[in-house]
Chains A and B, each alone.
Chain A
Amino acid sequence: MALLSKEPLGYGNTRIAAGIKVHPGITAGDSENLFYEDMLAGGEYLNNPRLARIVAKESRLSSQMLESFGYTFRRDDEGLISVKVARRSGGHSLIRSLVPFPYGGVPIGSALRSAGARGQWDVFEEVVVTRLLTEGNQIRGLVLLHTKDGTLEVIAAKAVVLTTGGAGWLYYPHTDCSRVCTGDGYALALNAGAELVDMEQVQFIPFAVTHPRSLAGMIIGDPAAAGPHGRLLDKDGNVVATEINVMTRAQVAVIISREVERGRGAAHGGLLLDLSPNFASEIGRRYLAHAHTNIAGLNVVKRAYGPQAFKCEEPWEVLPSAHFIMGGVVIDEWGRTSVKGLYAAGEVAGGIHGANRLGSVALSDILIFGRRAGEDAAKYAAGADAPLKRADDIDLEHERISQWHAKRGARPVQLVRRLQTSMWTNVGLVRDQDKGMRALSEIDSIEAESAEMGFRGRPGYCTDLQDAFELAFMLQVARATARSALERRESRGAHARSDYPMRDDKNWLANIFVRGVGKSMLTAVRRSAAASEAIAGIRRATS
């Protein structure tokens, strides 16, 4: 068994998370069922109900998992995990999210790495997996690039579990994700013949920094960060939204982008978040006191906008930032994809969160499906035939690299930046038919140019080389996202269309599936498995 990581192990995207983790059942009246219903209502019934059910059932178990790795949840005065150390996170109907103090996911990242060091597996750090190898519809290994010295290697494997995280980097600088999140897993899965679902569902955290450039995209907070009385203002100080803290991340993101598109944006292209009305009431003041000591987002505000802004007496600019991809590789309850021996777990997997992930659920999801995929992959591998390497397994990579060294076209990073600009503009916060078509034509054009891209070759730490492989992944993910966004002719969850501004339950209680690569990529629409739950849920909500 081997553990592969693009960065040195443990330095990835999980440790930069806020560290807030769902732990249902600590508030009186909470139940597995209530949590499940919250997930489906928040996900606007695009969730795979079986996967959501598992998250509801195993979230407490996943907290134990994390503590067994060496993490310690914050405790109350009695030394217990309880509602006293929790808060209501976005989209949950009651308090069930454990909040760390000090704030941040760094200790979670460290615990995961410690657990990684406990086992006797091989470890490959600083490798880019360039391709999965298959025989028919079955995994037989993978090809990887060692970024340290530029060498390629083939690993024979009966089973592969993708835990590559998301693709927030598609929207740089409008993302709070790490530079490694270039969507490798989605593209590897597509290339191997697996299917993606609902890739149009990209979660933007509504409040992020607009300037200076060094901090653009950094997360300030989700709707709860507005406090009970925070409000959004346009450039002239007109009130655009109040009671923000009860909205979903998607709802707030859409409000901001619609106003900005209407030309109501402030100096750096965002809206103004005004927390000062919170000073007027007792609960508002209590919120601000809490925020000033407990919420890392306000430290980002201090750094970006200065100590005066930190006081929250005056409004400051905010813009949404790509945070999480709800869509992803289609999996079953054991993380199995449609390719035999290929598994996916964590953000790279799709269907769990539907059209909107509730706050604090990701840190459960990664553990629950990581464990399930690992267990099943081990069982599967025990019974599978030993895979064979072939002499020509690396030829494709060698060929691509020698082409890049020979050609004199654009550098990969230039094409990456072009793609990111287009994704933010055309497949960002609010989409429409024209934007979708523009995105696809830009993807085509960048793909064509990427055939001519070139750079000087050198053996070790050639960032151009990593960028070149990643660009190919990003193009696939961009295409899948744009195609799905064009396909979904309604607004639902994180997907907002100005030409179809309403949710359309009659026609679109349906998932969008993507298969294939490049111009032969295909989409298919199938009725959501949660459709019947949706009808019951909608009835409950309206009664």
Chain B
Amino acid sequence: MDTVTIEVIRYDPTQDAEPRPQRFVVPTEKGATVQQALMHIYEEQDSSLAFRCGCRYRYCGLCALEVDDKPCLACLTPLKDGQVLKPLRHLPVLRDLVLDRSWVFDTMRNLQLFIPEMEYEELPERIFEPEEHKRLMQCTECLACLATCPYYDYRDASFGGTYTFVKLAQLHFDPRDQTDRVAQARKLGVERCAACRKCQCPLGVPAWKSATSVLLKHASSRRD
């Protein structure tokens, strides 16, 4: 049986002062993924390993992590010898590779990241959905983008970060939405993004091109 050796950064806030690396030797085969290795470790080697697993292919957004410092989805990342697996940086870790995601729903509420309630009769029959909206709506909310953002830190409420800017831009492009999403983005520091462009999405959602840069452009034009 072919095997590879990988390292997982473990952390149990009830016991560990610092995150600690642990090595595992896991079987591999053609087409093996990081997700598969994690499931193998849990089932066969170490029942205490905590990680998230949802749909096993691309859509649910739960299994995001860093492999060799690169934010990605475990289900889409080929397993290779020597890989180092870490939780996404800049985000609160509950245990091992599992992030606390409860702030996502709180953010949606606090920033009112939804279109206003409408009677069915008030809904527009004709909608010309902007291309940007279509692309941004493909966001699976895996949060990997936040680990690519150099300014984001979950403890700093003054800066929104890529994920929030994508959500704001979705609504900015939604013909049904009435709220000034650019003003919200400005309040959340989108102007800090001006010289950066480092935000990336593992699934190719154009976070910079169709979200951050658009909000930034509108925010900057209001400066005077």
Contact = CB atoms under 8 A, between A and B. Distances in A.
A303 B100 CA distance: 30
Contacts of A417: 43
A110 B137 contact: yes
A140 B127 CA distance: 45
B134 A102 contact: yes
B118 A178 contact: no
B60 interface: yes
A117 B62 contact: no
A461 interface: yes
A1 B214 CA distance: 38
B57 to A, nearest CB: 5
Given A75-B128, A114-B115, A117-B114, A102 B123 contact: no
Contacts of A114: 108, 113-115
B194 interface: no
Interface string B57-85: 10111100000000000010000000000
A64 interface: yes
Nearest to B110: A117
Contacts of B3: none
B31 A215 contact: yes
B7 interface: no
A218 interface: yes
Interface in B27-77: 29-33, 35-36, 42-43, 47-48, 50, 53-57, 59-62, 75
A148 B98 CA distance: 10
B154 to A, nearest CB: 15
Interface stretch (A49-57, A199-207, A237-245, A452-460): A452-460
B125 interface: yes
B155 interface: no
A184 to B, nearest CB: 16
Nearest to A417: B43
Interface string A410-426: 01011001000000000
Contact of B102 (A8, A64, A80): A8
Contacts of A179: 53-56
A105 B137 CA distance: 10
B114 A70 contact: yes
Contacts of B129: 72, 74-75
Contacts, number: 163
Interface stretch (A10-18, A28-36, A252-260, A518-526): A10-18
A68 B104 CA distance: 21
A64 B129 CA distance: 16
B31 A212 contact: yes
A362 to B, nearest CB: 16
B24 to A, nearest CB: 16
Contact of B48 (A104, A215, A456): A456
B133 interface: yes
Among A8, A101, A104, A123, the one with the most B-chain Cβ atoms within 10 Å of its Cβ is A8
Contact of B35 (A113, A214, A411, A460): A214
Contacts of A456: 47-48
A96 B13 CA distance: 52
Contacts of A214: 31-33, 35-36, 56, 75
B105 A9 contact: yes
| Chain A interface category by residue count | 35 or more
B105 A8 contact: yes
Interface in A364-402: none
Interface string A429-454: 00000000000000000000000000
A125 B126 contact: no
Contacts of B127: 72-73, 75, 79
Contacts of B25: none
A7 B108 CA distance: 17
A13 B138 CA distance: 16
Interface string B95-117: 11010111011001100111101
B219 interface: no
Contacts of B140: 15, 106
A151 interface: no
B205 to A, nearest CB: 10
Contact of A8 (B32, B47, B59, B104): B104
Contacts of B134: 101-102
Contacts of A101: 134
A25 interface: no
A320 B53 CA distance: 22
B132 interface: no
A64 B139 contact: no
A176 B58 CA distance: 12
A212 B32 contact: yes
A107 B54 contact: no
B123 A64 contact: yes
A464 B31 CA distance: 27
30 contacts: A8-B105, A9-B105, A11-B54, A11-B62, A16-B60, A68-B123, A70-B174, A72-B127, A75-B126, A75-B127, A79-B127, A79-B128, A102-B135, A106-B137, A107-B138, A114-B114, A114-B115, A117-B112, A123-B105, A125-B102, A178-B54, A179-B55, A180-B54, A212-B29, A213-B36, A214-B32, A411-B47, A417-B43, A459-B14, A460-B14
Given A11-B101, A117-B112, A213-B31, 12 more contacts: A11-B141, A16-B60, A61-B120, A70-B176, A80-B126, A117-B114, A178-B60, A180-B54, A214-B56, A461-B94, A463-B42, A464-B47
